[in-house]
Amino acid sequence: MLFPVSGVDVNPFIPPLVAFLVSSVTASAGVSGAFLLLPFQMSILHYTSPSVSPTNLVYNIVAIPGGLYRFIKEGRMAWPLTWVVVVATLPGVFLGSWIRIYLLKGEKSFKMFVGCVLLYLGIRLITEFTGRAKNQKTQNKALQQKFEEHMKKIKAESNSKMTAGLPVDAVVKTRTFSLKKIEYDFWGETYSFSTMTIFVLALIVGLIGGIYGIGGGAIIAPFCVSILQLPVYTVAGAALAGTFITSIAGVIFYTILASTQVGATANVSPDWLLGFLFGIGGLMGTYCGAYTQKYLKEKTVKAIMAALVLFLAIKYITQFFS
């Protein structure tokens, strides 16, 4: 089947199948699959024009809403953190889209950029085996165990399906929200951090997301958990919301550019059909990956992912100099 916007000629079952397999594995490691789908499109489908970035963002638009709804419904959204991430990522993604079209339009230069992002992600996966990362993981597991035990207790006492969904302490409660500081309570603990720190980080992540075609949750979430010492239960929703908004804004901006003089000289319009097929596969794969996570060895999954990501990073970086 020929996709006229991208020029890709592939069996229509291949994109959702690949997205399903990729997201199943990456979800098990707690990472979005969008950053691996772009290399697949470039290296296997030979889709290297600027429009591959917004097409990759379409994947996020289709795959994310289900998970985001779950976080909102369960009251695990740290809204001050979410709003700062959203507000900061928007100008970043607009600037990133401009850089992609004007400065990284060439295949070699764009692959060099992708290689650098993959190199960072690969190194981050490796560092998760270090002592500090293991300590943080132990804290997260303790929090998760406390959460699950409390849920079982409440269900046993009520002997019926809960309507509220969560115990009172498991809901994020905002204490302070200002330009200087964000502070909230979760599970009887108070977490505080600088508003400007998150703003600057989200701005940079939005810039990267606009160029690459990823939302940036894979960058924001680890920073908040490892550096700011925030519980992953409260960070995931905010990172997901930032990724979702960034993806929508990026696709809209690229679509607008497609109707300008820029669009006449470069293919910048997203391939909606191709992106939708990737998104459908990603939606199902993320669900299955979250379910099968407990049956897989996390170290093995992350080791395989790190090796693959570093291989792609080195490949793209060396291609720039060849």
Cα separations (Å) of 100 from 31, 116, 154, 161, 241? 24, 15, 51, 49, 23
Token look-up 């789908």 returns 37
Q: Over the stretch 276-322, which tens digit does the pLDDT of each residue have?
A: 999 999 888 877 765 665 566 667 777 888 888 899 999 999 998 88
Residue 272 lies in a domain: yes
CA-CA distances (angstroms) from residue 227 to 23, 43, 139? 26, 34, 14
State the residue range of the domain holding 110.
16-321
Checking if the pLDDT of 44 tops 50, the result is yes
In-domain check, residue 11: no
Instruction: Judge whether 8 lies within some domain.
Output: no
State yes or no: pLDDT of 209 exceeds 90. no
Contacts for 201 with CB less than 8 Å, ≥ 6 apart: 88, 219, 220, 223
pTM value?
Answer: 0.77
1 within some domain: no
Q: What is the mean pLDDT of the chain?
A: 81
**4 in a structural domain:** no
Query: What digits encode the pLDDT tens for the residues 156-189?
Result: 555 444 444 555 556 788 888 998 999 988 877 8
pLDDT band at 113 (very low <50, low <70, confident <90, very high): very high
Predicted confidence at residue 42, as pLDDT, reads 92
Number of independent structural domains in the chain? 1
Residue 87 in any domain: the answer is yes
User: Is the pLDDT higher at 134 or at 68?
Assistant: 68
Per-residue confidence (pLDDT) for residue 115, from 0 to 100: 93
Q: 7 lies in a domain?
A: no
Amino acid at 104: L
Assigned domain for 200 exists: yes
